[in-house]
Structure 1
Amino acid sequence: MTSSYDIRVKNELVERESEFLDRLFSEVQKVVVGQREMVERVFMGLICGGHVLLEGAPGLAKTLTVNTLAQCMQLEFKRVQFTPDLLPSDVLGTVIYNHQQGEFTNKQGPIFTNLLLADEINRAPAKVQSALLEAMAERSVTIGDTTYPLPQPFLVLATQNPIEQEGTYNLPEAQLDRFMFKIRVTYPTAEEELSIIDRVAVPGDAQMPTVERIISQEEISKVKRVLEQIIVERPVREYIVSVVGATREPAGAQLPGLAPFIDFGASPRASIALFQAARAHAFLRRRGYVSPEDVKAVAPDVLRHRVILSYEAEAEGKTVEEIVRVILEHVHVP
């Protein structure tokens, strides 16, 4: 059991190293109205090294948020519009023949960046998805006979239109599992939407506000080292395993009523993601230790794309969010 002195030391460390957070989020809000949870989750994915999938209707500032964060954090940002005719070489790069030199050379694709925005990722064919999966998993790309490491940090931030929209396809489960978060981006409140209108109602050519650099790549690396020092007590670790385990064996978690609704539960990668995300959430709340409330706060975003529901669940209108909520309500909290 960690002593109160150790907790106090970690709290002071996190408090000191998280001073930039208010300035960072204030800078983003110069451009992005509302969407605080989306901004936080994207930032958490970045400091944890986890890819993020953003699902929502067009026009909800998904691209704008990613671009603005990249500017605030002095990171290189590239965008690829995923379409049905996209080829793997359009993303990864290709081998080209140089007529002047009479030799083949490798041309790197847009994936060689810090933040890759894969816009409308669920419109691309399977070959592109497979190529992207390798890069997400290995953090490297092979072009011709040469393997290149991707820049650090490297993060895929993918946007996805809701599945019911025309021309979209389900992503493979193996690829979904590579995303740390799946974030549902919702519509702004009436007050936020009024603020958006006020911004564009300025007479003349309204220019997009410029944002300042708040944190450098070196400072991001420092934040990652601070995350590793955040205390996660054994009971909280066991709680994480119990929550994820309940998606696989509901009966073992005293939730037999959920078993008919779940075809496949979350993998061990979900436990790792939940552990890392809970530490990042504690960091954003200026604490040097993880509480069960941190786990509960991030569990829906970590699990919603990893739990596969049965046909019976779909027939009865059950959603993953409902299943996760029931699990969080009934699994014993330490």
Structure 2
Amino acid sequence: MVRQWLRVWEARKWMKQNEGFLPTWHAYLGYRLNLFDELQQNGTVSAQVNDKELLENWVQTGLILGHLKKDGDRVYPSKQMKNYFSKKSDVAIGDLLVELMELHIPSLMDYTPVLTGDAPRRSFDGDVHGTAVATTSSFIEQISYRSVKKVVSEISCETILDIGCGNAGYIRRLAHEFPHKEFVGIDLNKAVVEDATRQSEGLTNVRIEQQDLRDWDNEGKLFSCVMMHNLLHYFSPVERMELMKNIERLLDENGGISLITPLYLSDHGQKFSAAFNNFLSVHDNLHRLPTAEDIEVLAAAIGRKVDSLKPIVKEGGWYSIVIK
């Protein structure tokens, strides 16, 4: 009898843990379908809804969670939902949940058939998810920008290359603060480059190009600083070696490299890095996170060394690394 009660207790504990997923799902759906925006404007939802019962369930769930409020017949989003899950808001974080719900969780759910050999590994499609990934990477940028700015100042960089620049958030901010320095961003994704170019209009010291580092020589000109942020997991360990060699040929002898990346088995963020590694590994074109030792090996391969390695998002295991 005691064993059975312990079994029930254990089951209830695991069910309780799943309650934490409900707010994430609810906020994701409201952002994805613009439901919070429509409620804010009209007090009701009518557009693009075919199943009224499902909509009613979503609304009731929102009222239970506190995501939605009610005044008579009018339903409206809470201040939190209005600020952070409206596509009209300039501080929206909904793309983070889109990436989680449409990319990360489906990938982890595919782990079983891939693990048993009943299905091939997934393939990450940058054309489909590149923009969302670039947007969510900008959250890390807000936290890590101060560290990157310090690197640019301490290395006395005059010409800075950002590899895999995404929407060029780092170099746009740096270009405003250092108008006499030259910034170049390259990325493989056409849509991302077009968006970065549009956002960089008016900055005469910024140039954005759709380029593959392996085939690009920048007309023989060298950079005094190379930035490579949140990028290493797109390269296998062998490819990382080639990547560093390609960086070295574009880098001034006294220049430096700035890396922002999660580290596996580091002192911080081990749970996140473990989850991220599972997501990465189920893809045939994404790769496990590097360890601190891996970074030291990469630096040594081009005759340089790790000058500093500091955590910037401890719960996520993200580090700012400088190689000189």
TM-score normalised by length of structure 2? 0.27
- Which has the greater radius of gyration? 2
Greater helix proportion: 2
TM-score normalised by length of structure 1? 0.27
Task: Considering Cα pairs closer than 8 Å and 6+ residues apart, tell me whether 1 or 2 has the greater RCO.
Answer: 1
